[in-house]
Amino acid sequence: MEGQVCVVGAGVIGLSSAVCIQKKVPNVKVTVIAEKFSPNTTSDGAAGFWEPHILSDTPQELIRRWGNKTWDHLKTLYRSPQAVEAGVILLSGYHLHKTPQQVPAWASTVFGFRHLTKQELQQFDNFSCGWFASHLLCEGRKYLPWLMTKFKKAGGKVQQGKVSSLNELANHY
C-alpha cells in the first residue's frame, strides 16, 4: 500500500525527517512543504556542534540515546567520501570553566577527551577547570543541499508555500 506523508519545513529537522521517512517507510510518497528553502533557512546560518545538553524535562536516557544516534550518523558521514559535500567536519578545542565541573556524559563518545593540565590552564586567565576534545560539526549551508539532493533522488517532492495550520493539509496527506 502506497501512502503519502507531508513534512512541513525544509531546515535540518524537516529534511532529515523527510529522508528518514523515505528510508524507514517503503513505498511512501513524501512531500516537503516550506515557505523557505536553502539558502534562506535558519539552518543555513547555523552549524551543528555535536554536544548533547539537558532539555527541560527530557529524561537523561533519551538525551543519551538521541545524542548517540546523531553522533553515529555524523561519524559515518565524516568517515565517508561524502563528508566534504555534506559539510561534516572534525573540530577540536578547549572547553574552559571558571568553576569545577563534572565530567560530561558525552566524554567517552567524542574523540580524544582529556582533562587539561595545570600548565595548559595557566594559558587562560580566570579558568580553573577544563578539557580538550574533538567533536563533529555539521555545517548547515552544506548539509541542507546534500540532504535535499538525497531526498529528491529518492523520489521526494518539494512544494513552496506557507502552512498556517496543519488542518490545511489534512485532506491531502
pLDDT tens, residue by residue, 8-60: 999 999 999 999 999 999 889 999 999 999 998 888 787 777 887 777 888 88
Residue 1 has pLDDT above 70, yes or no: no
Nearest to 32, CA basis, from 12, 4, 11, 7: 7
The total number of residues shown for the chain amounts to: 173
Residue with the larger pLDDT of the pair 45 and 104: 104
Q: pTM here?
A: 0.84
The Cα 82–Cα 168 span in angstroms is 37
